[in-house]
Amino acid sequence: MGRYIVKRVISAVITIWFIMTLTFILMNNLPGDPFTSERQQSEEIKAAVYAKYGLDDPAHIRYFKYLRNYAKGDFGVSFQELGMTVNHLIKVAFPYSMKIGIAASILIIVLGVILGVLSALKQNKPTDRIVMILCTLGVTIPSFVLATGFLYFFSRKLGWVPSYGAGTWKHYIGPVIAISAFSLAFVARLSRTSLIEVLQQDYIRTARAKGLSERTVILKHALKNSLIPVVTYIGPMIAGIVTGSFVIEKVFAIPGMGDFFVSSIQNRDYTMIMGITVFYSIFVVIAILLVDIIYVFIDPRIKYD
Amino acid sequence: MDNLNNIDPQMWNKIDKSKKDAEKVERPNLTYWQDAWRRIKQNKVAMVSLVVIVLVILSAIIMPMVWKFKYSDQNLELANIPRKLEIYKLTEQDYIYITKDYKAIKVTSDGNLLGMADVINNDMTNRKRVYDVAGKEFVIDYSLYFNAKVEFNNLSKKAKKDPTIDLLAAEHELNNAKKYEVFYDGQLVEVSDKVSNKTYILGSDSLGRDLFIRIFDGARISLTIGFVAAFINFVIGILYGGISGYFGGRVDNIMMRIVDVISTIPMMLYVILLTVVFEPGMKSIIIAMSITYWVRMARIVRGQVLSLREQEFVLAAQTLGASTKRILLRHIIPNVMGPVMVALNMQIPAAIFNEAFLSFIGLGVSAPRASWGSLCNDALQGLYTYPYQLFYPALAISITILAFNLFGDGLRDALDPRLRK
């Protein structure tokens, strides 16, 4: 098991290096440079600015400098807004995204599992049908449609929740629902299939034959094992929440990281795009790594080498 | 007993083997695909989905060729006009529809738009617009909303000091209040009828373009991206997975480690990055999605190939001296097709979904063309006033993705009954 963990950590480090190199190559091949603007600057000023940001160095020197900076936790500065750095953004905006992300994760896992278990226990009954129809709709409707629909009905037509900003808990209802829907539907389907499969296993029959109550059979014997596939979905779920936040924060005007990312895309603020991309990628890779390690402890049936 | 004696002695003779039916094939031989088709035909949901998919594709091809408008035709006078019109009857021939920004549009009684009414006076200070309809004055007085708005602004100032004021409720009230009054020849007139818009059957967008044809033109773009991206993923995935699985051993190990690394990267971020680098547009979206989303396909193919290459028919082909290329292309890949087709079918809606997502954050095709995602994005600004502009493209995306998903489920059940859930 120790070997597996070491192997996973090494693989994650390679992934992060790969991500950073890929990002560097892509950004290095952009047409134009951050200082291409309508205003003509004199050659001297240009050279001075280039020297300040180290843009006149050859590519490999910039590459190592870039790796060193990122390793120290410096994710770069904005080339369009004076004094704006990615680190500052992480400090100011990321907490908003994090709040939504954590709330969404809890909603997805708790409600997703509850719905899945409910429909597995009532297989082919009306409850099951309704849950499955909702799940199909959940993976069909894009999150931005859900978000805008929510805004239109609940804040405009009914006036129940405020339409933009991030002041009170009421502001978070819409974003959390919209960002969760897809993964929620997925988790519900996943836990349903998995529980149905587990309930057909021999050890469940044994447990029933021993005369255990249905409650004990399901809660103690079936549920625990059926939740293992759900754990594997946590990685993709985090990636989904991160990308989902881009549109959700835009629609609900939440001053989070995703909103800034989208506006830096629209302003073509390349260093910001690069910094946020690398930050988010590393975040997701580490999250997946942690999930994989936790998984080893949860599922003793699998032997790792 | 008598019956036994009556048997014709001929019956005891041996019959010729060729006359026996035991070896006869009663039903026609079904190939794998014919068998799958037979099974999927019994699945009503899948068949309905297939019909929907075919209809969407056909109408995306045909509609832009036959419709009265082009996707780029615009008429600024007739911007933001919804599907249902509340019209005011002024005389027997003259009907007026009033837009959300208080302009009077002349319509026929059955809902054809004729154009803006002639303006006599646009009195900004008193918030009145005066038009000439059939020689008489037609007045739109929108000071009502303006006064309400002033009151609301005062209230919101007070609310800063007094937290007991429910601003949310006040805003709600403001939004649903009556906004204007209209007078014809000095008389107050009320809405006389509700008709369907005959000119723009799904309404027009903020530049006065026909939403209906823009949705079908958007379907062309969204579907093209969906199909092409999925197809390229399919080709790359099949080659990569096929080679990895067939050679096995160290090659497989290295190739799969690469796939492991790639699969933990949040792909959407890199699709965004690639689209930014390549300049937004249909081509770059396709390129970005094709070089990122093949990993799943490669894994499926590899798993299948790994088990197939141990089978006897591969050994037989090798013994007969077939080349590696021939074994891969003729023997292994056709047998992998079942699960791959299911994955491919799921890749198409995923690509449409992702394209909509990219367009929505402003990385879509450039104007005047529009995909479903960019139509939704365009509608966002006027969401509260013109919700229909978001509703129809969103409906198109949802129906198409739903159809692909349901058809995919059916296809999976039909191609591989073992996977049935």
Boundaries of every domain in chain A? 92-268
The pLDDT, as a whole number, for residue B23 is 67
Q: Is A188 exposed, middle or buried (0-12, 13-18, 19+ CB in 10 A)?
A: buried
Ramachandran angles phi, psi of B335, nearest 5°: -80, -15
The pLDDT, as a whole number, for residue A106 is 93
Dmax over CA atoms of chain B, in Å, equals 119
Question: What is the pTM for the complete model shown?
Answer: 0.82
- Outline where A200-227 has alpha helix (H): 202-209, 214-216, 223-226
Q: Is A141 exposed, middle or buried (0-12, 13-18, 19+ CB in 10 A)?
A: buried
List CB contacts of A140: < 8 A, sequence separation 6 or more: B398, B401, B402, B405
Q: Is A145 exposed, middle or buried (0-12, 13-18, 19+ CB in 10 A)?
A: buried
Nearest CA in chain B to A288: B264
Mutate one of B287, B361, B386, B399 to test the A interface: name it (highest A CB count within 10 A): B361
> CB–CB of A277 and B257 under 8 A?
no
Return the closest-CA partner of residue B269 out of B288, B287, B283, B295. B288
> CB–CB of B376 and A145 under 8 A?
yes
Distance CA A150, CA A99 (A): 19
3-state secondary structure of B256: helix
Low-confidence stretches of chain B (pLDDT beneath 50)? 419-421
List CB contacts of B248: < 8 A, sequence separation 6 or more: B306, B309
Q: Among partner residues B265, B357, B405, which is closest to A140 by beta-carbon distance?
A: B405
Is residue A119 within 8 Å of A131, Cβ to Cβ?
A: yes
The pLDDT, as a whole number, for residue B292 is 82
Interface of A with B in 240-259 (CB under 8 A): 242-243, 246-247, 250-251
Element (H, E) at B182: strand B181-184
Which residues from B are below 8 Å from A288, CB to CB?
A: 264
Tokens 């191609």 belong to B415
Distance CA A108, CA A151 (A): 21
The pLDDT, as a whole number, for residue A305 is 46
The pLDDT, as a whole number, for residue A31 is 65
Is residue A28 within 8 Å of A66, Cβ to Cβ?
A: no
| The three-state (H, E, C) secondary structure of B296-361, written as one string | HHHHHHHHHHHHHCCCHHHHHHHHCCCCHHHHHHHHHHHHHHHHHHHHHHHHHHHHHHHHHHHHHC
Distance CA B106, CA B23 (A): 79
Taking the CA atoms of chain A, what radius of gyration do you get in angstroms? Answer: 24
Nearest CA distance, A289 vs chain B (angstrom): 9
List CB contacts of B21: < 8 A, sequence separation 6 or more: none
The pLDDT, as a whole number, for residue B417 is 55
Q: Among partner residues B265, B401, B421, which is closest to A15 by beta-carbon distance?
A: B265
User: How confident is the prediction along chain A (305 residues), in pLDDT tens digits per residue?
Assistant: 778 888 888 888 988 898 888 888 888 877 666 565 556 667 777 777 777 767 777 888 888 888 888 888 888 887 777 777 888 888 888 888 888 999 999 999 999 999 999 999 888 889 899 999 899 888 888 888 888 888 888 877 777 777 776 677 778 888 899 999 999 999 999 999 899 988 888 999 999 999 888 888 888 888 888 888 888 888 888 888 888 888 888 888 888 888 888 888 888 788 888 888 888 888 888 888 888 888 877 776 655 54
CA angle in degrees (0–180, nearest 5) for A46-A47-A51: 120
Which residues from B are below 8 Å from A279, CB to CB?
A: none
The pLDDT, as a whole number, for residue A304 is 52
> CB–CB of B273 and A142 under 8 A?
no
The pLDDT, as a whole number, for residue B11 is 79
List CB contacts of B92: < 8 A, sequence separation 6 or more: none
CATH fold group of domain A92-268? MetI-like fold (1.10.3720)
Distance CA A226, CA A199 (A): 9
> CB–CB of B277 and A12 under 8 A?
no
Dmax over CA atoms of chain A, in Å, equals 88
Is residue A288 within 8 Å of B264, Cβ to Cβ?
A: yes
- Helix, strand, coil in percent for chain A, rounding step 5: 75, 0, 25
List CB contacts of A112: < 8 A, sequence separation 6 or more: A183, A184, A185, A186, A187, A188, A190, A191, A230
Tokens 């088709």 belong to B37
Distance CA A38, CA A36 (A): 7
Q: Among partner residues B266, B356, B406, which is closest to A142 by beta-carbon distance?
A: B356
Length of chain B: 421
CA distances from B225 to B353, B354, B361, B365, B372 (A): 10, 10, 17, 11, 11
The predicted complex's ipTM stands at 0.81
Interface of A with B in 274-293 (CB under 8 A): 274, 277, 280-281, 284-285, 288
What are the beta bridge partners of residue B115?
A: B106
